[in-house]
């Protein structure tokens, strides 16, 4: 049972465009939703995260939109750059501390072309 | 963000030998650390949850006698792959929690020949 479904599997965006990656979750107990960026041969790096009490969070060019009723959240990368080319993972967890494991989506391979 | 290191970054070993991977939280204390395994072009698969001073909790299908985890202190967890076989070749990544955030190490590439 896949608890976090991520789409698309791969994405090609023109430089300067907007990259949009979507995730849907099933477990309503999830209350923390981070996005990670991973470059080949490296560990995932935390990009941005959101809690269900807000509908949107923005950090620089990265924005998370959260729809609690639809159990969906998405990552928007504005003004996409070739350096943003990486694999992006959404994740979810529940609980009040860092002692709860993350459930990951399957990842989206983003390619930003000039 | 918080920093997690792993050592070694890559290792090649012969089939039947054991390999130890270290995971350290450099600027925070991690009561809980997690070990993941990642195959090429796939997502991270949780192997086990490691709590300082207690036995690790393994995910279903992960052999606890093969993947020995020790969480000796709040800043160090180790994963030992015992009697490694070629099918154990993978990218192993640890993470540590600080508040709600989890920070990942750079990963260890294990190749068993």
Token pair for B41: 């072009």
User: Per residue in A99-112, pLDDT tens?
Assistant: 788 999 999 999 99
Facing residue for B49 by CB, picked from A41, A101, A106: A101
The residue behind tokens 């609690």 is A68
d(CA A31, CA A1): 19
A91 contacts A104 by C-beta, under 8 angstroms: yes
The CA distances from residue B57 to A112, B33, B82, in Å, are 40, 11, 17
Closest partner CB to A43 (pick from B41, B101, B104): B104
Cβ contact A33:A74 at 8 Å: no
Task: List strand residue ranges (DSSP E) for chain B, in order.
Answer: 4-7, 10-13, 19-25, 32-38, 44-51, 57-58, 67-73, 76-81, 90-98, 101-104, 108-112
pLDDT at A96: 61
Considering only CA atoms, which of B28, B25, B37 is closest in space to residue B77? Answer: B25
pLDDT tens-digit readout, A39-72 = 999 999 999 999 999 999 999 999 999 999 999 9
Q: Dump pLDDT digits (tens) for A8-47.
A: 999 999 999 999 999 999 999 999 999 999 999 999 999 9
CA–CA gap between residue B27 and residue B1 (Å, rounded): 9
Calpha distance B88→B81 (Å, rounded): 8
Residue among B6, B60, B97 with most chain A CBs within 10 A, to mutate: B97
Res A112: pLDDT = 98
Using the beta-carbon criterion (under 8 Å), do A107 and B107 form an inter-chain contact? no
Q: What pLDDT is stored for residue A97 in this prediction?
A: 63
Inter-chain CB proximity A43 and B102 less than 8 Å: no
Q: Name which residue leads in pLDDT, B52 or A74.
A: A74
d(CA B70, CA A22): 36
Contact B30 A98 (CB under 8 A): yes
Chain-chain contact of B101 with A98 (C-beta, under 8 angstroms): yes
Low-confidence ranges of chain B (pLDDT < 70): none
Strands B57-58 and B44-51 turn out to be antiparallel
């Amino acid at each position: 049972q896949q608890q976090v479904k991520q789409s698309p599997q791969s994405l090609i965006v023109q430089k300067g465009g907007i990259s949009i990656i979507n995730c849907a979750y099933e477990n309503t107990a999830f209350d923390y939703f981070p996005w990670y960026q991973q470059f080949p041969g490296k560990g995932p790096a935390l990009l941005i995260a959101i809690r269900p009490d807000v509908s949107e969070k923005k950090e620089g060019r990265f924005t998370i939109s959260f729809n609690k009723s639809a159990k969906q959240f998405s990552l928007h990368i504005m003004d996409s750059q070739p350096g943003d080319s990486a694999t992006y993972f959404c994740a979810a967890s529940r609980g009040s501390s860092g002692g709860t494991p993350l459930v990951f989506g399957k990842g989206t391979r983003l390619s930003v072309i000039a | 963000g918080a920093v997690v290191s792993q050592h070694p970054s890559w290792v090649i070993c012969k089939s039947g030998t054991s390999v130890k991977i270290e995971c350290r939280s450099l600027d925070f204390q991690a009561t809980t650390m997690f070990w993941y395994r990642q195959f090429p072009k796939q997502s991270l698969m949780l192997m086990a949850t490691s709590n300082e001073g207690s036995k690790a909790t393994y995910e279903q299908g992960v052999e606890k006698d093969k993947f020995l985890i020790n969480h000796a202190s709040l800043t160090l967890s180790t994963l030992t792959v015992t009697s490694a076989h070629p099918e154990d070749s993978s990218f192993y990544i640890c993470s540590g929690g600080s508040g709600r955030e989890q920070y990942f190490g750079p990963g260890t590439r294990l190749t068993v020949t």
